[in-house]
């Protein structure tokens, strides 16, 4: 009797002296520990087109040089070489392993799914970028696919290097079977004069060339009656046609120029007596000013006082 492929290796109910009897496909699947995933046709390492890469670097680089793909019975492994201008010894690349189902146990050609907890990632980073002084980051970070770890190195030649790793856990069906296997991603990248932030940004902008997570359900309010939904976003009401903002003219207030105050010279009236300074000497001269006699003097002659005996 022919057994369906997805039930091969399972145990079935036997009747004494009778042929093998199936107890229904659903019950047989529940009683056995088999997964319903199919085996992939194994293929040796080969170069494929960049459009067939399972993971894509961010727009703007680093660019893809070539893609080497290897197919195992339970997984596909790709090494995606990236363009480089660094001077460090090593290769810029992204390594990805996408399991079709569960990892193998090492007894056949199936690839093993080894968790990161059983791997010396620091040694991997030092092997990827030797003599670069790789230091593992103590910070928790995550991108759109979940948490990841990374190490940074700064070799003396002016390059900055990163070695990052991420494990995207498998998804299961409601019956507990593997719907999508584990995806392991590793990035090793060196760039001349780049900052840590610029290299880390590559991990945030990597995109898998296939769906990983199930689409999120639509909000429950959509399509329901007696529920109002207005076009209001984070910036307020969303206009279909943007209204231009009113043009405000800036008015410049011109202040009147301050009037220049010109001191008025006081000219004594004709015939007014000249009052000597307290020191008896006018500024800028050493001569003695003789006061003018009053104009109402009874005699018409001018009386000059006799100088003192000390005068020369």
Domain ranges of the chain: 1-34, 43-208
pLDDT for 108 equals 75
Greatest Cα pair distance in the chain: 178
Can you tell me the distance from the alpha carbon of 191 to that of 161, in angstroms, rounded to the nearest whole number?
Answer: 7
Per-residue pLDDT of the chain (312 residues; tens, 9 = 90+): 444 444 444 444 444 444 444 445 444 444 444 444 567 788 899 999 999 999 999 998 899 999 999 999 889 999 999 999 899 999 999 999 999 877 776 667 888 888 888 899 999 999 999 988 899 999 999 999 999 999 999 999 999 999 999 999 877 667 666 667 899 999 999 999 999 999 999 999 999 987 665 656 777 888 888 888 888 888 888 888 877 878 777 777 777 777 777 776 666 667 666 666 665 555 555 555 556 666 555 555 566 667 666 555
Q: How far is CA 295 from CA 62, 292, 305, 306, in A?
A: 110, 9, 17, 20
pLDDT for 100 equals 85
3-state SS assignment for residue 177: coil
pLDDT for 69 equals 97
pLDDT for 106 equals 66
10 Å CB burial of residue 206 (0-12, 13-18, 19+) is buried
> Could you tell me the two tokens for 294?
């009053």
Strands 135-136 and 146-153: antiparallel
Exposure string over 126-145, b if 16+ CB within 10 A, otherwise e: bebbeebebeeeeeeeebeb
Can you tell me the distance from the alpha carbon of 51 to that of 128, in angstroms, rounded to the nearest whole number?
Answer: 26
152 within 8 A of 162, measured Cβ to Cβ:
yes
List beta partners, residue 67. Answer: 48, 80
Closest by CA position to 185, among listed 62, 89, 80: 80
pLDDT for 279 equals 58
Can you tell me the distance from the alpha carbon of 191 to that of 194, in angstroms, rounded to the nearest whole number?
Answer: 6
pLDDT for 31 equals 45
CB within 8 A of 142, min separation 6: which ones? 148
């Amino acid at each position: 009797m022919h057994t369906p492929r997805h039930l091969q290796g399972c145990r079935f109910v036997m009747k004494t002296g009778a042929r093998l009897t199936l107890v229904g496909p659903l019950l047989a699947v529940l009683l056995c520990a088999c997964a319903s995933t199919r085996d992939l046709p194994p293929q040796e390492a080969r170069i494929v087109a960049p459009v067939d890469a399972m993971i894509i670097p961010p727009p703007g680089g680093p660019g893809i040089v070539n893609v080497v793909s290897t197919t195992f019975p339970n997984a596909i492994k790709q090494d995606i070489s990236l363009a480089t201008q660094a001077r460090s010894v090593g290769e810029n690349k992204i390594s990805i392993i996408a399991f079709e189902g569960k990892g193998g146990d090492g007894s056949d050609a199936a690839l093993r799914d080894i968790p990161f907890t059983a791997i010396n990632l620091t040694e991997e980073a030092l092997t990827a970028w030797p003599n670069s002084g790789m230091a593992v980051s103590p910070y928790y970070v995550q991108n759109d696919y979940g948490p990841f770890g990374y190490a940074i190195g700064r070799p003396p030649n002016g390059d900055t290097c990163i070695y990052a790793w991420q494990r995207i856990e498998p998804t299961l069906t409601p019956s507990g079977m593997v719907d999508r296997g584990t995806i392991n991603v590793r990035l090793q990248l060196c760039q001349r004069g780049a900052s840590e932030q610029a290299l880390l940004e590559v991990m945030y902008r990597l995109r898998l060339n296939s769906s990983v997570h199930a689409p999120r359900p639509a909000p429950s309010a959509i399509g329901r009656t007696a529920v109002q939904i207005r076009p209001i976003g984070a910036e307020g009401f969303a206009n279909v046609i943007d209204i231009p903002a009113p043009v405000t003219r800036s008015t410049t207030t011109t202040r009147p120029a301050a009037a220049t105050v010109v001191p008025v010279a006081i000219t004594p009236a004709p015939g007014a007596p000249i009052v000597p300074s307290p020191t008896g000497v006018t500024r800028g001269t050493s001569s003695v000013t003789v006061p003018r006699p009053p104009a109402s003097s009874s005699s018409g002659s001018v009386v000059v006082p006799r100088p003192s005996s000390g005068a020369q």
